[in-house]
Copies of this chain bind each other. A is one copy, B any other.
Amino acid sequence: MNLLKQAIIEKGEALSDEVLKVDAFLNHQIDPVLMEQIGKEFAERFQREGITKILTIESSGIAPAVMAGLQLHVPVVFARKRKSLTLVDNLLIAKVHSFTKGETNEISVSKDYLLDEDVVLVLDDFLANGQAALGLVDIVKQAGSTLAGVGSVIEKGFQPGGDMLREQGIRVESLAIIDSLANKQISFREE
């Protein structure tokens, strides 16, 4: 997706060989016009899947997911990383390990909003080690819903998450795949 790659090149910053800072347009400041285009791109790629719901995770997954939901005319559910006061039981729970933080946390979704007849598209801002995506996929399975695929705005192709999901037979659509951040140079995978 050229508009996205352009934003990554112009506004992104490789902080190290592994860390890409995109908080100018994706995960702190958000460019709503770019998000709308991202939503349209996800909707186009998954339009034949009969999707009834989008599942994402707070916080940075919400903007692209809501824009995709607007295009596909389906509700968006975001998994919570922390317990809610008004949402305490009736939960689907998965464990998500963060390699960068070195800790495992629980994410949760109310059973009310993922039903066995749902066809679910999992969306997130980043796909790196794939642990958040695995947790969301696990929640889709627990709900008895059908998984249509996993979409990510930016995949770090040099980390194992995307390939791990593909090897499980899951359709993965990443709008930009970065093959390397070595020497603080952002290199995209050729399409």
Contact B30 A75 (CB under 8 A): yes
Pick from B19, B29, B66: contact of A32, CB under 8 Å: B66
Q: Do residues B113 and A29 form an inter-chain contact, with CB atoms below 8 A?
A: yes
* Copies of chain A in the complex: 2
> Is the CB of A107 closer than 8 A to any CB of chain B?
no
- CB of B87 within 8 A of CB of A28, answer yes
A76 adjacent to chain B (CB < 8 Å): yes
Residue A1 CB within 8 A of the other chain: no
The stretch that binds B, out of A78-86, A158-166, A182-190, is A78-86
Q: A23-B87, A101-B85 are in contact. Are A31 and B63 (CB under 8 A)?
A: no
Report how far A73 CA is from B33 CA in the complex, Å.
Answer: 7
Q: Is B86's CB under 8 angstroms from A59's CB? A: no
**From B19, B31, B78, contact of A75 by CB (8 A):** B31
The bracket for how many chain A residues form the interface is 35 or more
Q: Mark A84-109, 1 if CB is under 8 A from B, else 0.
A: 11110000000000001100000001
Task: Give the residue name and chain of the B residue nearest to A100 (CB).
Answer: B85
A32 → chain B closest CB, angstroms: 4
Q: In the bound complex, do residue B23 and residue A75 qualify as a contact, i.e. CB atoms below 8 Å apart?
A: no
CB contacts (< 8 Å) of A73 on chain B: these are 32-33
Residue of B at shortest CB range from A58?
B59
Q: Does A21 contact B (CB under 8 A)?
A: yes
Whether the Cβ atoms of A28 and B78 lie closer than 8 Å is yes
B23, B35, B78: the one contacting A84 at CB < 8 Å is B23
Does any Cβ of B come within 8 Å of A62's Cβ?
yes
